[in-house]
Amino acid sequence: MAFRFIRLSKTLEYIGKLAFYHCDSLEALFLPSTVKSIGNYAFVWCGSLRLLILPHRIDLDNVKEIISYRTAICQIADNTGVTIEYDENNAIANDESNRRVNEWLIHHMDAAPFHKLCYDSSVTTKQISDYLHEHGNDSALAIDPYHGMTPLHILSMNPHAPADTIAALFNSNIQTVFCADNQQKTPLEYARDYNVGGLIQMINCLCNHRNSSLLLVESDNTNNENAT
């Protein structure tokens, strides 16, 4: 199937067997914290799926086997040192390997808390503002170790993120909108595909910033003329 993202319900609790099987173009899936159970092979052969975080409180006994085989995110796990045993058909071989991958899917972004906040399907402007207030505006420039993304990249991909929430993060450090990730994409490009409201807000902010800069230049020129 040729769709790149799906907007899941914020109250979703169950993802069934083979739910996204062979969704080849699916790049990111924003799971709500309410998800309790994921069926067998739910994301198998989603070859482009590279952004997926399992809810922190999910019971791994309710996450069935081989949910992420043949996905980009499983390959990232393998490349970063998660021990995965494969059988003669190059499939994940056993329950222990599956469990290690699933545990990694829960915790792999723990060292990037701002990114995890931006992934949250219930993220609010207040949460973003509070984080920036506590950690400083430079925290908006943090790069995650797996995707080369800033928090704004992930927030721009989040289909649930309110447009004013995206604008709040954007305005904290305007440089982030021009940062390219490992796919050589900027937050503007992701917002175009995943969150059009956020895209409009960022374009408006860029226009306002440009107009403000022009006014400052005109003011400086006027002051210089008066001084002479």
Higher pLDDT, 5 or 71: 71
Task: Report helix, strand or coil for 92.
Answer: strand
Supply φ then ψ for residue 183, to 5 degrees. Answer: -95, 5
pLDDT of residue 1 exceeding 60: no
What pLDDT, on a 0 to 100 scale, did the predictor assign at position 3? 74
Distance, CA of 200 to CA of 32 (rounded, Å): 25
**What's the rounded Cα separation, in Å, for the pair 199 and 187?**
9
- Hey, what CATH topology would domain 113-227 get? 1.25.40
C-beta of residue 155 within 8 angstroms of C-beta of residue 169: yes
Instruction: Answer whether residue 197 shows pLDDT above 80.
Output: yes
Phi/psi at 38 (nearest 5 deg)? -130, 125
CB of 140 closer than 8 Å to CB of 112 = no
* Residue-wise burial string across 28-48, b where 16 or more C-beta atoms lie within 10 A, e elsewhere: bbbbbebbeebbebbbbebee
**Higher-confidence residue: 1 or 61?**
61
Contacts of 165 by beta carbon, 8 Å cutoff, 6+ apart = 123, 124, 125, 128, 155
Q: What percentage of the chain has pLDDT greater than the value 90?
A: 71
What's the pLDDT tens digit per position in 56-101?
989 988 897 778 888 999 999 999 999 988 888 777 878 888 889 9
More confident residue, 92 or 203: 203
Q: What is the pTM of this model?
A: 0.87
Residue 29 pairs in a beta bridge with: 52
Is the confidence at residue 164, as pLDDT, over 90?
yes
In the prediction, which pLDDT does 95 show? 84
Residue ranges of domains in the chain: 1-108, 113-227
Cβ of 129: how many Cβ atoms within 10 Å? Answer: 14
pLDDT classification of 19: cutoffs 50, 70, 90: very high
pLDDT tier at 214, thresholds 50, 70, 90: very low
When pLDDT is cut at 50, 70 and 90, the band that residue 6 belongs to is confident
d(CA 100, CA 115): 22
